[in-house]
Amino acid sequence: MSGHGIEVWGILNVTPDSFSDGGRYVDAGAAIAHARRMRAQGADVIDVGGESTRPGATPVTPEEEQARILPVVRELVREGIRVSVDTVHAATARAAIEAGAEIINDVTAGEHDPALLGAVAEGGARLVLMHSRGLDVTQDTRYGDVVAEVAAHLRARLAAAVDAGVPRERIMLDPGFGFSKEPEDNWRLLAGLGAVGRIGLPLLIGTSRKRFLGTLLPEGARPEERDAATAATAVLAAQRGAAAVRVHDVASTVSALRALVATAEAAPDPALRPQPRSGAISLTGVRARGHHGVLPEERRDGQEFVVDVQLVLDLGDAIDRDDVHATVHYGELAERIVADVGRDPVDLIETLADRLAALCLVDGRVEHATVTVHKPQAPIAVPFGDVAVTVHRSRERSDWVVL
Q: Which of 39, 126, 181, 246 is catalytic?
A: 246
Any domain includes 1:
no
> How high is the pLDDT of residue 378?
94
Does the pLDDT at position 341 exceed 50? yes
Any domain includes 367:
yes
Q: Which of 39, 126, 210, 393 is catalytic?
A: 210
Helices (DSSP H) in 79-145: which residue ranges? 90-98, 115-123
> How high is the pLDDT of residue 271?
58
Any domain includes 106:
yes
> How high is the pLDDT of residue 140?
76
> What value does the mean pLDDT take over residues 361-370?
87
Residue 36 designated active-site: no
> How high is the pLDDT of residue 333?
93
Does the pLDDT at position 275 exceed 80? no
Mean model confidence pLDDT for the chain: 89
Residue 375 designated active-site: no
> DSSP character for 209?
T
Does the pLDDT at position 299 exceed 50? yes
Any domain includes 273:
no
- What total of structural domains would you count in the chain? 2
C-alpha distance across the termini of the chain, in Å: 32
Does the pLDDT at position 400 exceed 50? no
What is the H or E stretch that residue 10 is in? Answer: strand 7-13
> How high is the pLDDT of residue 318?
82
What is the H or E stretch that residue 129 is in? Answer: strand 126-130
What is the H or E stretch that residue 225 is in? Answer: none
Is residue 161 domain-shared with residue 297, that is, in the same domain?
no
Does the pLDDT at position 200 exceed 90? no
Dihedral sign of CA atoms 343, 349, 351, 354 in order: positive
pLDDT above 70 as % of the chain: 90
> How high is the pLDDT of residue 210?
93
Residue 310: pLDDT band by 50, 70, 90 thresholds?
very high
> What value does the mean pLDDT take over residues 204-214?
95
pTM over 0.85: no
> How high is the pLDDT of residue 323?
79
Any domain includes 214:
yes
> How high is the pLDDT of residue 399?
37
CATH number, domain of 310, equals 3.30.1130.10
Per the structure, the complete domain to which residue 299 belongs is given by 278-402
> Could you give the CA distance from residue 234 to residue 232 in angstroms, rounded to a whole number?
5
CATH number, domain of 231, equals 3.20.20.20
> What value does the mean pLDDT take over residues 173-183?
94
> How high is the pLDDT of residue 395?
64
